[in-house]
Amino acid sequence: MSAFIPNTYVTILDTPDGTTAEDYLGDELADAVPIAEHLPAFWAQKDQRTWDPTMGRATVIRGYLVKLRPGTAITESQRVLNERTGEVGQVNMINKRANLELAGDVQVRAVAIDR
């Protein structure tokens, strides 16, 4: 049984040429194409501050845990946009928890880096 309690809506974004997005490294990308919009989701964020001695400045790594409805199609080459806050994270792990009887929530981990 799913314990899915949405607190926002998300859009799943894909790069136009299908390449893996690199925005979590701070690189510029071509505009992403929305492939699924206004999906109910649970979104949680945990920030981690690190010091980059080569750049001489602090970096904030934003980690996102996003839970989507069972059966939602998403891949690690895509990004997820929180429609409420405008935050975007690069998907770096997907866990489609399921057992033999019930489909489970799609749990996505995404990351973004602020410099």
**Residue 2 belongs to some domain of the structure:** no
Query: Which residue range is the domain that position 15 belongs to?
Result: 8-114
What tens digit of pLDDT does each residue of 67-99 get?
Answer: 998 888 998 889 999 999 999 999 988 987 655
| Domain count across the chain | 1
Residues whose CB falls within 8 Å of the CB of residue 39, separated by 6 or more in sequence, listed in order: 9, 10, 11, 12, 68, 69, 72
Residue 46 CB neighbour total at 10 angstroms:
9
Exposed, middle or buried by CB within 10 Å (0-12, 13-18, 19+), for 52? exposed
Question: Residue 65 maps to which CATH number?
Answer: 2.40.10
Residue 1 lies in a domain: no
> What confidence tens digit (pLDDT) does each residue in 14-71 have?
876 645 445 445 555 556 889 999 999 999 998 888 888 888 888 888 999 999 988 8
Global confidence as pTM: 0.74
- For residue 67, is it within any domain? yes
Helix then strand count (H, E) for the chain reads: 0, 6
